[in-house]
Structure 1
Amino acid sequence: MVAKVAFIGTGGTMSSVGRGPLDLLDYSINKTMLHAEEILDAFPEVREVAEIVPVRFKAVPTTALGFPEWKELALICDRLVAEHPDLAGIVIGHGTATLEETAYILSLTLKVSIPVVIVGSQRPLSGLSTDAALNLVNAVRTAASPASRGRGVLVLLNDEIQAAREVTKTSTFRMQTFRTPDFGILGYVDGDLVRYYRSTERRHAPDTEFDLRPLEALPRVDIVYSYAGGDGTAIRAYVAAGARGLVSAGFAPGMTTPDEGVALAEAVKAGVTVLQSTRAGSGVTLDGHKLRDMGIIPADNLNPQKARLLLALALTVTRDPVEIRRIVDTY
């Protein structure tokens, strides 16, 4: 029996048509992106591995996606499961710039039990040796595989299956851009074989305490990036702009300049929740006495952009620092 998989297109590189096969970098100037059904027409081989339900959504650059689109994607996933009781999985095509953020927030908020796989490409659909076609085929295979159930939202590029919480983009143009620095991949797709070698231990969809559906917006949470000589101006500006939370992308293993530390302490006293992450790209933030004395919560090993999303969701259910620490330790 052929599995049924839904494919939602959101745009990005994998939907982009450049000015010719050698237009591999500046293809956005052509201003042409295809919708889900058009991508399937371009790569008819995808229909050989599953029965595909194309879902027209948007065809936009990945930088144009945010809370409204995440909420709508969650609602579409709900609708697809209700309309297709035999649906094996869902694939979401996505640009790579913010792919990890969409994957993580959906992995924290979706309420469907079938696999959801986020897929993108490093080369445009029209490019010579594009990776869009095989990435999409492999994403469909992953979504259709019973072995993918219960693993949260997954990310598939370059034949590799990665966990939404852990994966990050590490290179601008290389095909192996998506990596999990601390733990490595979950598994591979080789031909029609979907194979897993480990699972993520952190809590994920559908068993979470977060839900995008009733929300009109997320609380404002901003990221402040530490650098030698930083004086805290950006921190005070974000607080003045109404930030309810801040993520400090500090020096490893979780430090800031003295002036930034003063500004963060002021923010905490003003009622702003602060998470301390690092700009290192790998490793756990030090949970030391200095942070505790300042009322700052370590972000575990979440990178700044993912710590921001978790803090924003946490602030929709609590402002208690003890509870927010529990949430960080749980997710």
Structure 2
Amino acid sequence: MGILVPGAGVIGLTARPKAGVVLIGTGGTIAGRGASPVNTSAYDCSVLSIDDILADLPAAASIADISAEQLFQSGSENFGSAQLLQLGKRISSLLKRDDVDGVVVTHGTDTIDETAYFLHLTLKSAKPVVVVGAMRPPSALSSDGPLNLYNAIVVAASPLAHGKGTLVVANDEIHTARDVVKTSTFKQEAFRSPYGPLGYIVEGKPVFYRLPARPHTVESEWSIDEIDVLPEIGIVYAHGGMNDSMVRAMLDSGVKALIYAATGNGNVATSVVASLVDARARGIHVVRGSRTGGGMVIRNAAQPDDHYDWLVTDDQVPHKARILMMLALTGEHNARTLQNAFLTY
């Protein structure tokens, strides 16, 4: 046997090489720049390249063998189906390489939870994929970007992250893509999961305390390699005194399904019921969600879903229910099958 020397591996044995991690830059606040160090909310977004960002983080080289590429340079509010498909297919091709142990995506925080959930459901690999952003640009005092990125690389390089699906790392926390939601416009602790994070990064090491409970990646029924088109899904946000004009406008826009972000437990105002019933008559699926941001929408509780042939989101927030519905409609259109997707994933 070899001799163990602290910090030097085992003498006489070949040291394990560092993990290979690919960074994909897509823009966002983590690539932004403000006019002064106190510009934490007002700044130019997506002006730094992934190489610029990495050059200011030399400590990352000690974690992994890192390569980087720029795929997009845009705020994530501009991400649509084309960007989701392109990003997913690029990551899928990277994960098939023997020299790639994990992938990190730098991303704007506006839709980071949507992109991460899409990847969580479509990438067929147990290798870790970590999506990371920042609430403050690198030019700001106390920017969270450098440490967030360092921690993301730590997680992507760790064997402990294998099999846990796509993860979002922010503010020293590790979140599953299924649960995480952005909850603040400016706070560094903007990202929350209703059931808590999976774990934390402590002193540069990932520590996990729970696992994702719902199927993902290799257990998912969707594969990014088999998807070339995503159907259009709309969201209508309910409010007091609502009429059906916005619903009918959405139905006329060509959507294949409508997520109704209802009040409370998926409550639908009487003034809107007829338009949603009409949606199903026109072959457009209706999914009752909740604008509250938490809790379950229970089938046949606030509305007779069986009678109207409507669906419910279970506990998923409306904008992520949209991602799931897009994927579900790439296959079976049967309402029972679609409802099962919400109860399964």
Return the TM-score normalized by structure 1: 0.95
Name the SS of the counterpart of 1:60 in structure 2.
coil
Return the TM-score normalized by structure 2: 0.91
Q: CA deviation at 1:295?
A: 1.2
Q: Which has the higher mean CA deviation after the structures are superposed, 189-198 or 158-167? A: 189-198
Corresponding residue of 2:35: 19
Cα pair distance change 1:171/1:32, threshold 3 Å: closer
C-alpha contact (below 8 Å) 1:210/1:313 kept by paired residues = yes
C-alpha contact (below 8 Å) 1:6/1:91 kept by paired residues = yes
Name the SS of the counterpart of 1:55 in structure 2.
strand
Give the residue type in structure 2 aligned to 1:44.
P
Task: State how far apart, in whole Å, the 2-side matches of 1:91 and 1:307 are.
Answer: 24
Task: State how far apart, in whole Å, the 1-side matches of 2:285 and 2:274 are.
Answer: 15
C-alpha contact (below 8 Å) 1:115/1:143 kept by paired residues = yes
Q: CA deviation at 1:297?
A: 0.8
Give the residue type in structure 1 aligned to 2:330.
T
Task: State how far apart, in whole Å, the 2-side matches of 1:46 and 1:147 are.
Answer: 18
Corresponding residue of 1:61: 75
Cα pair distance change 1:27/1:15, threshold 3 Å: same
List gaps (5 residues or longer) in structure 1: none
Is 2:202 aligned against 1:190? Answer: yes
Among 276, 289, 295, the residue aligned to 1:283 = 295
Q: CA deviation at 1:66?
A: 1.7
Name the SS of the counterpart of 2:341 in structure 1.
helix
Task: State how far apart, in whole Å, the 2-side matches of 1:210 and 1:78 are.
Answer: 13
Task: State how far apart, in whole Å, the 2-side matches of 1:137 and 1:145 are.
Answer: 13
Over 2 Å off, 4+ runs: 211-217
Corresponding residue of 1:221: 233
Q: CA deviation at 1:133?
A: 0.4
Q: CA deviation at 1:189?
A: 0.4
Corresponding residue of 1:245: 257
Task: State how far apart, in whole Å, the 1-side matches of 2:317 and 2:149 are.
Answer: 27
Corresponding residue of 1:148: 161
CA RMSD between the two structures: 1.4
Corresponding residue of 1:271: 283
Q: CA deviation at 1:320?
A: 0.2
Give the residue type in structure 2 aligned to 1:211.
S
Name the SS of the counterpart of 1:58 in structure 2.
coil
C-alpha contact (below 8 Å) 2:30/2:46 kept by paired residues = no
Task: State how far apart, in whole Å, the 1-side matches of 2:156 and 2:295 are.
Answer: 30
Q: CA deviation at 1:229?
A: 1.1
C-alpha contact (below 8 Å) 1:20/1:127 kept by paired residues = yes
Q: Which has the higher mean CA deviation after the structures are superposed, 123-132 or 36-45? A: 36-45
Task: State how far apart, in whole Å, the 1-side matches of 2:225 and 2:87 are.
Answer: 10
Give CA-to-partner distance per residue, 1:146-172, whole Å, 9 cap, x none.
Answer: 111111100000000011111100011
Task: State how far apart, in whole Å, the 2-side matches of 1:222 and 1:170 are.
Answer: 21
Q: How many residues align?
A: 327
Give the residue type in structure 1 aligned to 2:269.
T
Q: CA deviation at 1:220?
A: 1.3
Give CA-to-partner distance per residue, 1:126-151, whole Å, 9 cap, x none.
Answer: 11111000000000111111111111
Corresponding residue of 1:113: 126
Q: Which has the higher mean CA deviation after the structures are superposed, 283-292 or 5-14? A: 283-292
C-alpha contact (below 8 Å) 1:18/1:32 kept by paired residues = no
Q: CA deviation at 1:292?
A: 2.2
Corresponding residue of 1:179: 192
Corresponding residue of 1:230: 242
Give CA-to-partner distance per residue, 1:292-317, whole Å, 9 cap, x none.
Answer: 22111111000000111111111110
Task: State how far apart, in whole Å, the 1-side matches of 2:226 and 2:18 are.
Answer: 35
C-alpha contact (below 8 Å) 1:35/1:57 kept by paired residues = no
Give CA-to-partner distance per residue, 1:38-61, whole Å, 9 cap, x none.
Answer: 110122222222211112212211
Q: CA deviation at 1:201?
A: 1.0
Is 2:114 aligned against 1:101? Answer: yes
C-alpha contact (below 8 Å) 2:266/2:297 kept by paired residues = yes
Corresponding residue of 1:293: 307
Is 2:106 aligned against 1:90? Answer: no
Corresponding residue of 2:217: 205
Q: CA deviation at 1:32?
A: 5.7
